[in-house]
Copies of this chain bind each other. A is one copy, B any other.
Amino acid sequence: MIKVSVLYPKAEDSTFDIAYYRDTHMALVRERLGGACKRTAIESGLAGGTPGEAPTYIAMGHLYFDSPSDFEAAFGPHAKEILGDIPNFTNVQPTVQVSEVIE
C-alpha cells in the first residue's frame, strides 16, 4: 500500500478553506480517482512540536493506493482538473510526497 500525502505549507498569509477542501475538493478527488483510491484522510494543522510553535502545514490530505502505478494511472487523466481546483480553497501550493505504508 502507498500513501500520497498532499502537504499545504503554513505561511504568514496562507489561507485554507477546510470545509471546501473536505466537502468539495476531496469529493471531486474521490469521484475522479474511483476505486483505485482505497482511502482518504484529512487533517488541519494545530501546532508544531514545541509550545506556541505554528504548524509546518496548515492542512494535509492523504490518498491511499495499492501501488505507485495505480496512483499514476488514476490521477494522470484528471490531474489538470484536480490541481486546477486548488486555488478555490487555498493560496499556497502543496508539497507532494509518495510513501510506502509500513504499518
Q: Interface residues, chain A, CB within 8 Å of chain B?
A: 2-3, 5, 7, 18, 22, 26, 40-50, 55-57, 60, 68, 95-103
List B contacts of A7 (CB < 8 A).
Answer: 56
User: Is A98 a contact of B48 with CB atoms below 8 Å?
Assistant: yes
User: Is B56 a contact of A95 with CB atoms below 8 Å?
Assistant: yes
| A86 → chain B closest CB, angstroms | 13
Number of copies: 2
User: Is B3 a contact of A43 with CB atoms below 8 Å?
Assistant: yes
List B contacts of A68 (CB < 8 A).
Answer: 46-47
Distance A95 CA – B101 CA, assembled complex (angstroms)? 19
Q: In the complex where A49-B95, A49-B96 touch, is A101 in contact with B43 (Cβ < 8 A)?
A: yes
